Copies of this chain bind each other. A is one copy, B any other.
């Protein structure tokens, strides 16, 4: 992959394909993702995709991996500088308001993970990373309950006409994450 590490600025073709793939998954779902649509979204020649990725499964897997790495980094950033129960609460509130792209891709990974062992690994790594971040600030039970609620709210929000209002999210976290659950930063 000669252009994986470009000398000039701007994303490499490899990265453009990954980004295009995520865009197509967001818009059409994994089931309707094709080489042709990805090439169009990425603005690259169709043939370059098979040059970089041996098949569609490999590309989708790589795209999900990239998404999870970026999303976990985002989550970790929300907890940067957290040093009190109140600042941890505020960080959780941000984590519980993911953008639409995260919601749609999260759902697609979840569903794909049911039928692909490789993607199942990506999905469980994702959950484990969130778990690891939470567990630096909250006790084990609270971490696990918060995890389940996050998944439920994300997956539910995707299928509801109306997103959960911020006040409901805040109330849920207030009930689940009690001051005595705070143990961090570890």
Q: What residues on B are CB-neighbors of A168 within 8 Å?
A: 141, 144-145
What 5 pairs across the A-B complex have the smallest Cβ distances? A152-B152, A111-B111, A148-B152, A151-B152, A145-B172
Residue of B at shortest CB range from A174? Answer: B175
Chain A's interface size range is 35 or more
A186 on interface, CB distance cutoff 8 Å: no
A107 on interface, CB distance cutoff 8 Å: yes
**CB atoms of A141 and B171 under 8 A apart:** yes
Residue of B at shortest CB range from A28? Answer: B115
A113 on interface, CB distance cutoff 8 Å: yes
A90 on interface, CB distance cutoff 8 Å: no
Q: Pick the most buried of A144, A160, A164: most chain B CB atoms within 10 A of its CB.
A: A144
**CB atoms of A159 and B110 under 8 A apart:** yes
**CB atoms of A124 and B156 under 8 A apart:** no
Interface residues of A in 129-186 (CB under 8 A from B): 141, 144-145, 147-153, 155-156, 158-160, 164, 168, 171-172, 175-176, 178
A120 on interface, CB distance cutoff 8 Å: yes
Q: What residues on B are CB-neighbors of A147 within 8 Å?
A: 152, 156
17 contacts between A and B (CB under 8 A): A29-B114, A29-B115, A32-B115, A113-B159, A120-B159, A127-B156, A144-B168, A145-B171, A145-B172, A147-B152, A148-B152, A148-B164, A148-B172, A150-B152, A151-B155, A155-B155, A175-B178
Q: What residues on B are CB-neighbors of A123 within 8 Å?
A: 159
A137 CA to B162 CA in the complex, in Å?
23
> What is the 8 Å Cβ interface bit string for chain A, positions 97-117, against chain B (1 contact, 0 not)?
000000000011011011100
Q: What residues on B are CB-neighbors of A155 within 8 Å?
A: 110, 151-152, 155
Least distance between A83 CB and chain B CB atoms (Å): 24
A1 on interface, CB distance cutoff 8 Å: no
